[in-house]
Structure 1
Amino acid sequence: MKLNRQKILAFFKKSKDKATVILNDKSKATDTIQEALGKAVTNKGDLEGVWSKLLLLFAVSKDYVNGSYTEIPKGSIVAIIGGLIYFLSPVDVVPDFIPVLGLIDDVFVLNLVYKQVVKDLEKYKIWKDKQGNIISIDGAST
């Protein structure tokens, strides 16, 4: 199956626009992250290739929204939350109800987001290590 990159990127841009609005409401942002995490855990087997990246995206999102880590540029956190919103949408470019193929565009977008913010994530990991915390399955610190 050939992905329509332009269509995916257009849909992702809409997701980033939604992320900008959601980030202004801590409760909505937290709910969005938790909902995306639930979907990720449910589909962990299909997300094996991006699982560690996804955990990092969840962790930095959660730490940003709860105010414990704010050193990430606004554009990066908007891209991350936008990626999670895209991931959450059941009827994006490739609808999630299509067996096996439904998450292909989601994985594409999550990898794209990861590549866009990888330097910011490296700084986050250094900060997280200094805190003595590790990133766990629920995106929380332990």
Structure 2
Amino acid sequence: MKLNKAKILGFFKKSESKATIILNDKTKASNTIKDALGKAVTNKGDLEGIWAKLVLLFAVAKDYVNGDYTEIPKRSIIAILGGLIYFLSPVDVIPDFVPFLGFIDDIYILNLVYRQVIKDLEKYKAWKDAQIKFIGNADGSTAT
């Protein structure tokens, strides 16, 4: 099956526009992330190949919206939230209810977003790892 990449990217651009608006409302942004995470967990088997990437995208989006991590360019967080909105939409280029094929376009977009923001994700991961070590040291345990 050949993906209509132009059509998929058109839908994604609309998702990014929604993300720009949703980012202005912390509650809506948090609910969007929570809903997308719920859908991801429910469909983990179909997403196994990108699960680790997806977990990282959810984590940075959540930490950004909560105000814990703001060292990511706004365009990157819009792309990430746009990817999650695209993923959350059941009716996109290939509807999610189509057996075996429903998540192909979602995976394509999520991989595209991941590649777009990989440098920002590496910085986030280093920050997150430092937070974990700091918390570990603060409670008296030893971090290695």
RMSD: 0.6
1:108 aligns to 2:103 (yes or no) = no
2: CA distance, partners of 1:42 / 1:2: 26
**Residue correspondence of structure 1 range 32-47 to structure 2 within 5 A:** 32-47=32-47
Give the Å deviation of 1:65: 0.1
Give distance in 1, aligned partners of 2:40 and 2:82. 15
* Alignment partner, residue 142 of structure 2: none
For residues 96 and 66 of structure 1, the distance between their equivalents in structure 2, rounded to whole angstroms, comes to: 29
Q: Equivalent residue of 1:132, what SS?
A: helix
In 2, the alpha carbon distance for the partners of 1:27 and 1:55 equals 20
Q: In 1, distance between residues paired with 2:29 and 2:125?
A: 21
CA distance in 2, matches of 1:121, 1:27: 23
**Structure 2 residue runs without a partner (length 5+):** 134-144
Aligned to 1:15: 15
What amino acid sits opposite 1:115 in the alignment? R
1:125 maps to 2:125: yes
Unaligned runs of 5+ in 1: 134-142
The offset of 1:26, in angstroms, is: 0.1
Q: Give me the whole-angstrom Cα distance separating, in 1, the residues matched to 2:84 and 2:14.
A: 12
Equivalent position of 1:60 in the other structure: 60
Q: What displacement does 1:88 show?
A: 0.4
Shift in Å, 1:67: 0.1
Letter in 1 for 2:5: R
How far is 1:100 from its partner?
0.9
Q: Distance in 2 between matches of 1:106 and 1:127?
A: 28
Aligned AA (1:37) = L
Q: Give 1:111 shift.
A: 0.1
Per-residue Cα deviation, 1:55-95 (whole angstroms, up to 9, x for no partner): 00000000000000000000000000000000000000000
The equivalent of 2:49 in structure 1 is 49
Identity of aligned residues (%): 76
CA distance in 1, matches of 2:101, 2:23: 30
Write the letter of the residue equivalent to 2:62: K
Q: Which has the larger radius of gyration?
A: 2
Equivalent residue number for residue 136 of structure 1: none
Corresponding residue for 1:140?
A: none
